[in-house]
Structure 1
Amino acid sequence: MKKTKQIVASVLIMMLGLIQLPVAQAAMITTDQAIQAQQGDAERARLISLLQKDELQQQLTAYGLDASMAAERVRSMSDAEVAMLNAKLDELPAGEGIVGLAALFFIVFIITDALGATDIFTFVKPIR
């Protein structure tokens, strides 16, 4: 019995030695990097909140685009893409915000389809 316990313990020790646990790494970040990360999240949240408006959802549906798909695409965009989209939105006149944003999403999705990053519209063939 004692011999069996020693064998089982030895096997368990060897198995634990073979398991590679992930190692956490920490590094210093600058204040600018922290601010940029938070700003990117805030800009992304702004776009997603706009996508939840009924007017915009109706407009996107008219273009043949599902609002939940658009929100998922916004979540997967880089911070630079989100910033560019927000900058374009800020340039639009106040009355054209919703229609202009829907058109802007439509154009962005056509471009990403053409680049092969998404496959939303069947009429857009990827560039290869």
Structure 2
Amino acid sequence: MTFMRSTKRYLSILLTALFMLTSMASLQAQAAMVGTGEAVAQQQLSVDRAELKAMLDDQEVQAKLASLGVSQDQVEQRIDSLTADELADFNSQLDDAPAAAGVVGIIVLFLVIFIITDMLCATNVYSFVNCVN
């Protein structure tokens, strides 16, 4: 009888400790409301990137980029790496540009972005641009 009581006691202590350890070790999930503004901004960012990539499908843009030695994949990677502010600034510049100058403006902007990233040692597209570091 005492053996059964002591076994029950040790077993209950062991199970209590195990229960406490597993309940303390469980991860707590944090839930928060996502504001409409945040959701719309994220969706707008995706739409802006898609519109910019759609502009790359133009034959004139592809021919100009090819003549400059820049592949379409490199441009798409750069578009994906743009922050929301940079993308908004770029789109505002496109909105202000005349319709015919849009293609040239896009190409010039990409060239400037390539030069800046070359200077920051992020890429090595142009051999004449030296890294700042």
TM-score (norm: length of structure 2): 0.72
Please identify the structure whose Cα radius of gyration is greater: 2
**Structure 1 CA distance, aligned partners of 2:128 and 2:28?**
46
Q: Cα offset for 1:74?
A: 0.5
Provide the secondary structure at the position in 1 that maps to 2:61.
Answer: helix
* Partner in structure 1 of residue 129 of structure 2: 124
Instruction: Read off the aligned partner of 1:53 and give its amino acid letter.
Output: D
The aligned runs of 1:1-128 (5 Å cut-off) are 26-128=31-133
Name which structure has the greater RCO, CA cutoff 8 Å, separation 6+. Answer: 1
**Structure 2 CA distance, aligned partners of 1:58 and 1:117?**
25
**Structure 2 CA distance, aligned partners of 1:61 and 1:45?**
21
Report Cα offsets for 1:10-32 as digits up to 9, x if no partner: xxxxxxx9xxxx98654322111
Provide the secondary structure at the position in 2 that maps to 1:94.
Answer: coil
**Structure 2 CA distance, aligned partners of 1:95 and 1:24?**
52
Provide the secondary structure at the position in 1 that maps to 2:131.
Answer: coil
- Number of aligned positions between the proteins: 110
Gaps of 5+ in 1: 1-16
Moved more, 74-83 or 32-41: 74-83
Gaps of 5+ in 2: 1-21
